[in-house]
Amino acid sequence: MRIKAEKKDIILALIAFLACFSVFLFFLSYSHIFKEPLDTNFEREEKEPYSKEFQIISGEEIFPRFINSVFFKPYAVLVGDTQEFHIWVTDPVGVGKVQAEIETDAGTTFVDLEISEGDKNTGRWKGSWHVCNLIHEKYYQIVFRAFSETGEENVFTTFLKNKEVL
Q: What is the CATH number of the domain that holds 135?
A: 2.60.40.1930
pTM of the predicted protein model: 0.69
Q: Is residue 152 part of a domain?
A: yes
Segments forming the whole domain that contains residue 6: 2-35
Number of domains in the chain: 2
pLDDT digits (tens, 9 = 90+) for 83-140: 999 999 999 999 999 999 998 888 899 999 999 999 999 999 999 999 988 777 788 8
Confidence (pLDDT) at 30? 60
Q: Is residue 56 part of a domain?
A: yes
Q: Is residue 45 part of a domain?
A: no
Q: Is residue 44 part of a domain?
A: no
The single-letter code of the amino acid at 86 is H
Q: Is residue 47 part of a domain?
A: no
Measured at the CA of 14, the angle between CA 12 and CA 20, to 5 degrees, comes to 105
Would you call 27 exposed, middle or buried from its count of C-beta atoms within 10 A (0-12, 13-18, 19+)? Answer: exposed
Q: Is residue 41 part of a domain?
A: no
Q: Do 146 and 91 form a contact (C-beta atoms < 8 A)?
A: yes
Tell me the C-alpha distance between 24 and 37, whole Å. 20
DSSP secondary-structure letter at 162?
B
